[in-house]
Amino acid sequence: MFEYLAKSCEGVLMKKNLYFYDEGDGKNKRLLGGKGAGLCTMTQLELPVPPGFVITTEVCKRYYEDGGKLPGGLMDEVGAAMRRLEELTDKGFGDPKKPLLVSIRSGSMLSMPGMMDTILNLGLNDETVEGLTKLTKNERFAKDAYRRFIQMFGKIVLGIDAKKFEDVFEKQKEKIGTKLDTDLKVEDMRKVVEQFKQIVKIETGKEFPSDPLKQLELAISAVFRSWNNKRAREYREYYKIPHDLGTAINVVLMVFGNMGPDSGTGVAFTRDPSTGAKGLYGEFLFNAQGEDVVAGIRTPLKISELEQKYPEIYKQLLDIADKLEHHYREMQDVEFTVEQGKLYMLQTRAGKRTAQAAVRIAVSMAEEGLIKKQEAVLRVEPGQAEQLLHKQIDPKAKVKVIAKGLNASPGAAVGKVVFDSDRAKELENAGKAVILVRPETNPDDVGGIIASVGVLTSRGGLTSHAAVVTRGLGKPAVVGCEGIKIDLEKRIFETNGTTVKEGDVITINGSTGEVIPGEAPLVEPKMSKELLKLLSWSDEFKRLQNWANADYPRDAKRARELGAQGIGLCRTEHMFFEQERLPLIRKAILGETEEERKEPLGKLLEIQKGDFKEILKVMDGLPVVIRLLDPPLHEFLPKYEGLLQEVIMRRMSGGRAEELKAAEDLLKRVEAMREANPMMGLRGCRLGITNPDINEMQVRAIFEAACELKREGKDPRPEIMIPLVGHVNELRTVREQLERVAREVMSKYGEVSYKFGTMIEVPRAALTADEIAEYAEFFSFGTNDLTQMTFAYSRDDAEGKFMFDYIRLGILQVDPFQTLDRRGVGKLMQIGVELGRKKRPDLEIGICGEHGGDPASIEFCHELGLNYVSCSPFRIPVARLAAAHAALKAGEAEKLRYL
Amino acid sequence: MFEYLAKSCEGVLMKKNLYFYDEGDGKNKRLLGGKGAGLCTMTQLELPVPPGFVITTEVCKRYYEDGGKLPGGLMDEVGAAMRRLEELTDKGFGDPKKPLLVSIRSGSMLSMPGMMDTILNLGLNDETVEGLTKLTKNERFAKDAYRRFIQMFGKIVLGIDAKKFEDVFEKQKEKIGTKLDTDLKVEDMRKVVEQFKQIVKIETGKEFPSDPLKQLELAISAVFRSWNNKRAREYREYYKIPHDLGTAINVVLMVFGNMGPDSGTGVAFTRDPSTGAKGLYGEFLFNAQGEDVVAGIRTPLKISELEQKYPEIYKQLLDIADKLEHHYREMQDVEFTVEQGKLYMLQTRAGKRTAQAAVRIAVSMAEEGLIKKQEAVLRVEPGQAEQLLHKQIDPKAKVKVIAKGLNASPGAAVGKVVFDSDRAKELENAGKAVILVRPETNPDDVGGIIASVGVLTSRGGLTSHAAVVTRGLGKPAVVGCEGIKIDLEKRIFETNGTTVKEGDVITINGSTGEVIPGEAPLVEPKMSKELLKLLSWSDEFKRLQNWANADYPRDAKRARELGAQGIGLCRTEHMFFEQERLPLIRKAILGETEEERKEPLGKLLEIQKGDFKEILKVMDGLPVVIRLLDPPLHEFLPKYEGLLQEVIMRRMSGGRAEELKAAEDLLKRVEAMREANPMMGLRGCRLGITNPDINEMQVRAIFEAACELKREGKDPRPEIMIPLVGHVNELRTVREQLERVAREVMSKYGEVSYKFGTMIEVPRAALTADEIAEYAEFFSFGTNDLTQMTFAYSRDDAEGKFMFDYIRLGILQVDPFQTLDRRGVGKLMQIGVELGRKKRPDLEIGICGEHGGDPASIEFCHELGLNYVSCSPFRIPVARLAAAHAALKAGEAEKLRYL
């Protein structure tokens, strides 16, 4: 991908190291970074953008290729660009009279919010700061800008501990008895500047660099360096962003939001990122620089307040939003600054949004005619649809709300309180659900947020770090919850009257901002009308059918309501575990003669017939794949270890002889049925060969149920699935035996339509699928077992014993039981599909492993040409959307192929 | 194969239904059957063959296609042929004066001794028998021939119970007080004939058919019918002979070995079928028909006695043997009859022989220049070589011999005595080794012989049924052991002073003919010089190398002596199970800190180093593949169930608290390590990732051992094998970690040559072999595990729970743990080889599963292009021969392909 893009750019663009905004290609985010490309586009749309230029990501790559050195000649080009910038702005870089100040902003192809560094006010030194004072007639402002610059430059470029600067600054505020920066007077600022310069001198052994071009060179290196800092690398690893993309750097004329009460800075979304409602949505801080908003330290005003104070600017923003949405055909997230009443756009990009907003925006935009229905479907990731199906607090439940903050990311979460990211990771590793509670979060907390089921902060707004990151991850969050007082040392937080300790369970409601002590009852969510519409569009484009795994009539009903087009897996043995049935199946297993087994099997026949009749009735007219008995029989018997204990204890305590005898007999029977590796033992179709009577009872029940429904005017479509086939002769033998039973039943009642087929869950079945297809009208990939055999991972053992280490060490990227392993298991599936269809072109092929509800796996199933994917009922909406994505993406790939 | 042959014959031969011996193509056994082709060849070599013709196998096929009817027009052709036969013999079919009598003999392409029917003396009726009397001037002879004909025809053609005839015949002998047929006078024979005719009339309701042409028609139908009798079908199934080959029928002028003291009949081998020594070897019965020899009822004379009585005939036989051997370039098994001093050859075919004889004959013939060395190698089946490696009774052991019979098939066997074939099968199914003891065996006993480890008969000679069948199967047999008196009713046998009951264990020595009560000590055999020569020739032609699986220096030594070219699998964990080591490995496993594990690991390091040094020294200059720790660690700990019992008992008996505590602690540790399916759990390379210190110790031991040997001037070639790899990242991770250890050791001692590689035993490894080959210098197919995963058969469970049923029901043809499953496991191997070599053309690939010693599997490994096969040391000779066979056969296939 990367190479392909690099090559395609080569001829056109690779010769230049930097582009002014009026010349850069706004579509080439790969080269110019997202921010640079956005500024180019906005400039070329004639929106108010401060002049500037962007140094390309190619330069960053060369920086790393050369072992962390700027390419030779780069600074000459930058110098020339600065001269052009001087001309455009009528200012001079380092000119004491009309000093040109610039910001240095990182910006890579893919958004990595807050992960890399930015430096403002660059170009200031002891001389230019005086020029700034004269120009602005505001020494306090100029000195404040200078101290900010020294502080930022000191930390980012010179690597000085930020705390040293903060301590000085806080001490100065204490000295004059205030908590607000704005209370500091010009003389305070002067002192701060002097002390900051002193810190630099002590820490680096050198004077603060005064040459603006030198400052610029150092800053460019530092920003490139920040591409590879630890948190940026972690972020990229989590989001699977390649490490070799590199970042671009924007060098832009400084505009000041902190130039007095007619200045300010803000961020805005063109639609509500939480609900998707149309209209400007955002925040504004008067007399502040941009970082103040994003950092979440001061709680900003809502953007609507800007309308009252600056109706013209608000109107201008609305126009810009409209222009941008029409240009990008996508909701935008913009940053802007007002400098003494004049609006400047500093950034535009596609806005992050909640899943709910994503759905609403996609559907609205399609209805507004901005995008096509296909695009609307593709704009909502299946993972987002999944979030909408997250549980919510039961609206009927009476819960005690102890605090309320901002509803930053919807959904409810229940977990143990932790107060730092390390503890969050620790407990998550131990399998606990945790909620991270922090005054505010910063980029170093990303790992902790990932480890948590939800986040609660006492400070920050809806665009604060915590809010942005949790929305991206689809985790509930409540932010800016000022009603809780966090004491990090005591590891507690207090609200009015309640104390919550680390480890205590709380519930947060990210949809309402409420904080609830203890575990609130959660319920399944309802689907919004927009989601229903999106799913109906999905159904128009998908080629895969969506079937459900359902063992009980109630599950089948729910599945059908959620859009299931069939039942892909009905596990008959689950029915056996129910209370009244277990004794019957035990008798049927332990009976030594056919006679002894006949009576319990007869009772089970009636019960199973009832179950099947219900399910077939619910799914009237749709296929229902019923799998015959699969697990080893000893699963239905008492556990060996328990029996062993009982026998020993009875022996030693000298109880009644007949009870001991019975226990010993049962122990012997269970012992004889024990297996070294039951997963690969006597189960599945092997049982049908060694113990045919249970299978026969099941098939009789299925056909009697179907036949009776047919008589009642229904349209039952049973499909009998024989599990664990590895050799065609197994299938042939079992099928022949069961077809006899089916024909016998139908000869009494009349014909029903039915199919016989098999699971493909043993590697050998996939490898010999042509032979097997001769006796199977359908295949259903049992990818849980197929993954077990292909990897030789016993799932029960792997998940507890080494899977975590494997993922931690990067041996596996994902758990193959979650997402299909394309290279191994997928290859077997491909072989199975090809061979099976070669023998029987109309073979019905599906998947009924858990992968049938996993979007990445569904995409693969589409590529393989399966007929359907089957998953748990509650995942059906996700799977429908994923199936549409797969079809639409494949369509695009198809188109690309023929370009 | 069959179709191919059929097509190639079509144009040339398919028009005719029968061929006279002077015109049939002696090479076309497919069409003429083995016997017919042999008679054609002998006729055309101008050897004394009675005139006759052969009805082709095509006719037999049409007989079955038409639902058991002779093709229309056939009998017209047969009639015409009989007229030509009349001309050739100057006799008339049904002519009362010069009656032409013929034998009707079956004979299919592949030998099925005694399985189908033969009818002698056909053409006799009340009139022609008188003519015969006149011609031979011997009424007794004529009547005897007539009663034999009625008896045979009655049983075979008319389906009358043979016992009815036998009873009459026995009664007649009793009447005159004799046990010998020859004591019966002419009047006795007349009476017998009359009574036999009566039996036919009673049983069939009709007179015995007197028209010779009708007799012939009925006989031809009956012989075709016998192709499909039960025992013939069973025989073909066992030997995998297609059921659609059909049999030919020979119609030959009768010659009589029972025409008085100057007549007789015999069988002879051109070399000793037991030892392979050159020279006529066989048996002769005076005044008898052929069936009397083969049936084993009368004990015949050695052929050498013929030399004394009929030196001319003996000389003639020697010449014929020489001619036949030069023509066929193969040891022949001939049947002949002497009629009043004149020799007639009745059959020739390749002779069955013991494995020992096969080797000696092949080697001698090559040395005599009769065949090439390649042919000699191909003439000995690997399975035969295996027989030569059967155990023998320890020559140093003092054994009590209670009886001695003929050494009919070499090797020693120990088993429980059974007295009938059903019981033999029953006990064999129950896993017992049995020896079948019978007065004599007949074709109905084939199943019982197959089920037994050896056979003992009290009657019959070296060419009796029991002798022939056991030699074919490679099972030890003692026949004609007249010293044992078998009482089938009491189910015992007695020798002079000893009574042996059914179920008692005996030992038989088929090489010496001895019978020994109880279990004699058995030892490995020595290889003959012929076998050594044959194996050295094999080594010239094979392309696969033969490596051995050896865990101990003593095994490695034996393997090298037997011709191993490397060690393909040295299982390091087997060393851990030895007494002094087990406590150390337990400490190393249970140690909770690195410190606690360090001390036992240090001790194990020294021990393993010693082992490796010995093995590497024994294999000096040859590769030694050492597999790192593979089994789950809990295999080295006490069993969970035992610990559980101990804890419960200690708790209840109230013993010492600290002992209970220790037991409980151990139980807890072992419980934590238990796995649901240990075969697919924490083992193999997964251990190297979660518990790296054991692996590191092992690699350190290997490299220290190799480095020290190098210093001593040796040439150690260790290859480190990482087991259970399923994902390239596992291999990469473990290899990197272990290469560090290897480099560390070598930096101290100096370099040694080594390789790192992996088992391919997980399906995913085969499917992604290209990725894996990047980090592996060699692959070794671990087909035991690969078979387990590909079939999802836990071997421990399958063999006991369903494998037997699967083979019995024909779901599996063979146990896939014995012979590689080409279609499933083999396909994975093929994928693995192709992908692996694509990435790394010089990849060394072998197999170390048990299949590495199985001839059919070795052939497949050759086809796959593996570099070596590795098996148990004692199977190395078999594997060397199998490797040569594979190469030579592939060469032939290669040639055919380019024809």
Q: Is A657 on the interface with B (CB under 8 A)?
A: no
Question: Would you tell me which residues 383-422 of chain A have a C-beta closer than 8 angstroms to some C-beta of chain B?
Answer: none
Residues paired with A265 in a beta bridge: A285, A337
pLDDT 10s digits, B686-707: 999 988 999 999 999 999 999 9
What is the per-residue pLDDT for A6?
43
| Cβ neighbours of A824 in B, within 8 Å | 726-727, 763-764, 767-768
Catalytic residue positions of A, numbered? 465, 848
The alpha carbon of residue B40 is apart from the nearest alpha carbon of chain A, in Å, by 44
Is the CB of B793 less than 8 angstroms away from the CB of A821? no
**Mean pLDDT on A717-732:** 97
Q: Is A679 on the interface with B (CB under 8 A)?
A: yes
Is the CB of B811 less than 8 angstroms away from the CB of A727? yes
pLDDT 10s digits, B50-76: 999 999 999 999 999 999 999 999 999
For residue A690, give the nearest of B678, B805, B824 by CB distance: B805
What is the per-residue pLDDT for A463?
63
Find, among A83, A75, A92, the residue nearest to A216 by Cα: A75
Looking at B654-718, list the stretches that DSSP marks H as alpha helix, in order from N- to C-terminal side. 657-673, 685-690, 692-711
Nearest chain B residue to A827 by CA distance is B767
What is the per-residue pLDDT for B10?
43
| Cβ neighbours of A828 in B, within 8 Å | 763, 767
What is the per-residue pLDDT for B472?
56
Is the CB of B676 less than 8 angstroms away from the CB of A678? yes
Q: Dmax of chain B from CA atoms?
A: 109
Share of chain A above pLDDT 90, in %: 66
Nearest chain A residue to B793 by CA distance is A680
The alpha carbon of residue B730 is apart from the nearest alpha carbon of chain A, in Å, by 6
pLDDT 10s digits, B465-494: 788 677 656 689 999 888 899 999 899 999
| Cβ neighbours of A653 in B, within 8 Å | 652
Nearest chain A residue to B792 by CA distance is A680
Contacts of B410 (CB under 8 A, 6+ apart): B274, B354, B355, B356, B387, B390, B476, B510, B511
Question: Would you tell me which residues 617-656 of chain B have a C-beta closer than 8 angstroms to some C-beta of chain A?
Answer: 641, 644-645, 648-649, 652-653
| Cβ neighbours of B633 in A, within 8 Å | none
Phi-psi region of B819 (alpha: psi -120 to 50; beta: other; left: phi over 0): beta
Contact B85, B102 (CB under 8 A): yes
Per DSSP, the three-state class of A703 is helix
The alpha carbon of residue A424 is apart from the nearest alpha carbon of chain B, in Å, by 23
Is the CB of A811 less than 8 angstroms away from the CB of B678? no
Cα dist from B204 to A379, B120, B208, B209, B567, whole Å: 90, 21, 9, 11, 70
Is the CB of B675 less than 8 angstroms away from the CB of A797? yes
Per DSSP, the three-state class of A92 is strand
| Cβ neighbours of A812 in B, within 8 Å | 727, 729
Q: What angle do CA B144, B147, B149 make, to 5 degrees?
A: 110
Tokens at B237, concatenated? 């199934």
Contact B522, B361 (CB under 8 A): no
What is the per-residue pLDDT for B21?
97
The alpha carbon of residue A836 is apart from the nearest alpha carbon of chain B, in Å, by 15
Across the 899 residues of chain B, what is the mean pLDDT of every consecutive 10-residue run?
43 71 94 96 97 96 94 94 96 94 93 85 96 92 94 94 92 88 88 96 94 96 93 82 93 91 91 90 85 66 86 95 96 94 94 88 96 95 79 81 85 93 87 92 80 90 74 79 90 90 94 90 84 96 95 90 96 76 88 89 94 96 96 88 87 84 90 89 92 94 97 97 97 96 96 97 98 98 96 83 80 89 98 98 94 93 97 90 95 57
Contact A52, A123 (CB under 8 A): no
Q: To probe the interface with A, which of B789, B803, B820, B829 has the most A CB atoms within 10 Å? A: B789
| Cβ neighbours of A793 in B, within 8 Å | 680, 726
Label residue A894 by pLDDT band (50, 70, 90): low
The alpha carbon of residue B229 is apart from the nearest alpha carbon of chain A, in Å, by 26
pTM above 0.90, yes or no: no
pLDDT 10s digits, A601-634: 999 999 999 999 999 999 999 999 999 999 888 8
For residue A788, give the nearest of B678, B680, B682 by CB distance: B680
What is the residue-wise DSSP string for B516-580?
EES---EEPPPPPHHHHHHHHHHHHH--SEEEEE-SSHHHHHHHHHTT--SEEEEEHHHHHTSTT
DSSP 8-state symbol, B866: -
Instruction: Centre a 10 Å sphere on the Cβ of residue A80 and count the other Cβ atoms it contains.
Output: 11
Count Cα neighbours of B458 within 13 Å in the Cβ-side half-sphere: 15
DSSP 8-state symbol, A875: G
**Mean pLDDT on A537-562:** 93
Label residue A300 by pLDDT band (50, 70, 90): confident
pLDDT 10s digits, B498-555: 999 999 999 999 888 899 999 998 877 778 899 999 999 999 999 999 999 998 898 8
**Mean pLDDT on A402-406:** 89
CA dist., res. B185 & res. B193, Å (int): 12
3 state SS for B791-822: HCCCHHHHHHHCHHHHHHCCCCCCCCCCCCCC
**Mean pLDDT on A826-834:** 98
CA dist., res. A345 & res. A328, Å (int): 16
3 state SS for A661-689: HHHHHHHHHHHHHCCCCHHHCCCCHHHHH
Question: Would you tell me which residues 691-730 of chain A have a C-beta closer than 8 angstroms to some C-beta of chain B?
Answer: 724, 726-727, 729-730
Catalytic residue positions of B, numbered? 465, 848
pLDDT 10s digits, A485-521: 999 989 999 998 899 999 999 999 988 889 999 999 8
**Mean pLDDT on A565-574:** 90
For residue A677, give the nearest of B645, B680, B812 by CB distance: B680
Tokens at A669, concatenated? 């029977």
What is the per-residue pLDDT for A883?
97
Tokens at A873, concatenated? 């009922």
The alpha carbon of residue A760 is apart from the nearest alpha carbon of chain B, in Å, by 12
| Cβ neighbours of A811 in B, within 8 Å | 689, 727, 729-730, 733
Residues paired with B607 in a beta bridge: none
Residues paired with A406 in a beta bridge: A479
Share of chain B above pLDDT 70, in %: 95
Residues paired with B437 in a beta bridge: B456
Is the CB of A644 less than 8 angstroms away from the CB of B649? no
CB pairs under 8 A between A and B: 197
Question: Would you tell me which residues 792-811 of chain B have a C-beta closer than 8 angstroms to some C-beta of chain A?
Answer: 792-794, 796-798, 801-802, 805-806, 809-811
Q: To probe the interface with A, which of B790, B808, B813, B828 has the most A CB atoms within 10 Å? A: B790
Instruction: Centre a 10 Å sphere on the Cβ of residue A700 and count the other Cβ atoms it contains.
Output: 19
Contact B881, B534 (CB under 8 A): yes
Q: To probe the interface with B, which of A811, A812, A825 has the most B CB atoms within 10 Å? A: A811
What is the per-residue pLDDT for B705?
97
Straight-line distance from the first to the last Cα atom of chain A, in angstroms, rounded to the nearest whole number: 17
Residues paired with B522 in a beta bridge: B393
Nearest chain B residue to A804 by CA distance is B690
